[in-house]
């Protein structure tokens, strides 16, 4: 086995000459036990093949402000240090190849592998990247967000501390009407600029939020009179802001984004999801590119839909062989996305 060639390397007991000679794929041809030498404490410390750089550029947080008082801030990620010229995509490739060191030097090969993984729904290599956020969002958004069970969460304790005076209040021209097509959704906006009655209704809604915000003073007063914080808070509305730290692996973060960036998700969580994607994209650009191509911008077809599409290609009726109205309307949406208009 070759001796370490630099003083620094010998101090930490590795053999950088062997490390840099490692052929690809390393998991097959490199024998770690022979390639590197333990230090006096028995620990093998490997010097990276090229300098490592902080993927967050030395910042403590990357923050985007969302809604009237909220924010989402990327506060950490894994890997945080990556070989110069690479991104956290490298950790996915490294895990997929079960390699160590840099894994590969050809970024286009890495991109191809990542695209393959996403296309074929391989999940665990993506779980090797983690992202940690500090988020401040209205409680009704947090209630939707917390349903994503694979994340690790720690929330501000309103039993321990007084909740700060922050309430979400949309502008008049952001008030949505109940959707007629989707019982869960609000879509169309009140026409506050050209319809007096709609302006009045939207104003009434905003006034109603102002009224519930008025409870904050009573909340504070009651805690000052000795009511416990854990009880005083229970009269506060769900448009009040809360905060948490949220850590999740990339696979489940992308799943969260696919669900919460979807047009069926509530607008107030969608804006957080969109901001989250902007923060993640520079960390894993190849993965996000592939995810946009195969998941976000893709289309899943059921067997019935494949059958209908096959009939359409043969010049026949693309009607769905199903009498469920919702499924049929979803098929119509998919056909429209594919560029087919109803006959």
Residues that bind ligand FAD (CB under 6 A): 147-150, 252, 255, 259, 264-265
Q: What is the CA radius of gyration of the chain?
A: 27
- When the beta carbons of 175 and 248 are compared against ligand FAD, the nearer one is 248
CB of 275 to ligand FAD, least distance (A): 17
d(CA 261, CA 335): 21
d(CA 233, CA 163): 8
CB of 247 to ligand FAD, least distance (A): 13
CB of 126 to ligand FAD, least distance (A): 12
Long-range CB pairs of 80-86 (<8 Å, 24+ gap) are: 80/54, 80/55, 80/56, 81/52, 81/53, 81/54, 81/55, 82/52, 82/53, 82/55, 83/48, 83/49, 83/50, 83/51, 83/52, 83/53, 84/50, 84/51, 84/52, 84/53, 85/50
- When the beta carbons of 105 and 264 are compared against ligand FAD, the nearer one is 264
Q: Closest CB to ligand FAD belongs to which residue?
A: 149
- When the beta carbons of 62 and 255 are compared against ligand FAD, the nearer one is 255
Q: Is 260 annotated as catalytic?
A: yes
Spatial CA neighbour of 232 closest among 223, 244, 243:
223
- When the beta carbons of 148 and 328 are compared against ligand FAD, the nearer one is 148
CB of 263 to ligand FAD, least distance (A): 9
Q: Which of 255, 260, 278, 311 is catalytic?
A: 260
- Give the residue numbers marked as catalytic: 260
């Amino acid at each position: 086995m070759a001796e370490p060639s630099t003083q620094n390397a010998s101090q930490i007991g590795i053999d950088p000459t062997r490390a840099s000679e490692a052929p690809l794929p390393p998991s097959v041809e490199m024998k770690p036990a022979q390639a590197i030498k333990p230090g006096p404490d028995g620990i093998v410390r490997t010097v990276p093949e090229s300098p490592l750089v902080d993927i967050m550029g030395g910042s403590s947080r990357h923050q985007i402000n969302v809604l009237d008082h909220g924010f989402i801030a990327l506060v950490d990620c894994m890997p945080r240090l990556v070989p110069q010229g690479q991104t956290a995509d490298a950790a996915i490739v490294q895990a997929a190849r079960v390699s160590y060191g840099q894994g590969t030097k050809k970024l286009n090969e890495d991109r191809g592998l990542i695209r393959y993984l996403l296309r074929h729904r391989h999940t665990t290599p993506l779980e090797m990247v983690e992202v940690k956020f500090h988020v401040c969002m209205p409680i009704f958004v947090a209630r939707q967000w917390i349903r994503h069970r694979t994340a690790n969460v720690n929330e501000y304790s309103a039993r321990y501390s007084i909740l700060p005076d922050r309430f979400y209040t949309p502008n008049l021209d952001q008030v949505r009407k109940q959707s007629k097509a989707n019982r869960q959704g609000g879509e169309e906006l009140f026409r506050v600029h050209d319809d007096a009655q709609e302006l009045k209704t939207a104003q009434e809604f905003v006034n109603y939020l102002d009224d519930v915000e008025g409870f904050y003073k009573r909340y504070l007063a009651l805690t000052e009179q000795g009511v416990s914080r854990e009880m005083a808070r229970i009269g506060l509305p769900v448009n009040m802001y809360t905060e948490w730290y949220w850590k999740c692996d990339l696979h489940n973060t992308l799943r969260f984004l696919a669900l919460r960036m979807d047009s069926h998700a509530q607008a107030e969580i969608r804006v957080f999801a969109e901001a989250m994607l902007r923060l993640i994209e520079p960390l894993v650009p190849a993965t996000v590119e592939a995810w946009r191509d195969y998941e976000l911008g893709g289309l899943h077809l059921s067997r019935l839909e494949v059958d209908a599409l096959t009939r359409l290609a043969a010049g026949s009726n693309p009607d769905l062989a199903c009498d469920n109205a919702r499924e049929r309307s979803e098929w119509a949406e998919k056909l429209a996305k594919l560029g087919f208009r109803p006959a």
